[in-house]
Amino acid sequence: MLNKVCVLTIKVGDMEKALEFYTKVLDFEVSKHYGENIVSLVHNEIPIVLEKSDEEITSASQKVLLGILSENLDEDVTRLSDRGAEILFDESRPCPPGRYNMIEDPFGNQLELVEFSNFK
């Protein structure tokens, strides 16, 4: 059966810049380096892997959206903005489970910050 996600891969153009963003801005930790081009991040549920790609990466070509859980969206958006993250919406928007906002990593990958406020 093919009904379980086993890994989420994020294509990046510069591994050093990616590690700076995902560890210093988003607070992920590195789990393991698989050579220079593949790094796994610590994550309890689905492994997240950064993979260096020589192809040009644009947000228009993005096919996977990473959703990151936020306990307090307003605080997290402010903190990420202070750390230099590009916040895509001036105000967080409603969604069925609560609210969300979007940020971009240095390679144009969009990341969704989701607060499940309708289920508290």
Instruction: Give me the residue label for tokens 């590690």.
Output: 19
Share the mean pLDDT of the chain.
87
Domains, the chain, in order of start with CATH, read 8-119 (3.10.180.10)
Cβ atoms < 10 Å from Cβ of 105? 22
Question: pLDDT tens digit string along 13-23?
Answer: 999 999 999 99
Q: pTM of the entire structure?
A: 0.77
Kindly tell me if the per-residue pLDDT of 59 is higher than 80.
no
Kindly tell me if the per-residue pLDDT of 4 is higher than 90.
no
pLDDT of the residue at 54: 79
Kindly tell me if the per-residue pLDDT of 60 is higher than 80.
no
Cβ atoms < 10 Å from Cβ of 34? 11
Kindly tell me if the per-residue pLDDT of 120 is higher than 80.
no
> What gap in Å lies between CA 15 and CA 49, rounded to an integer?
11
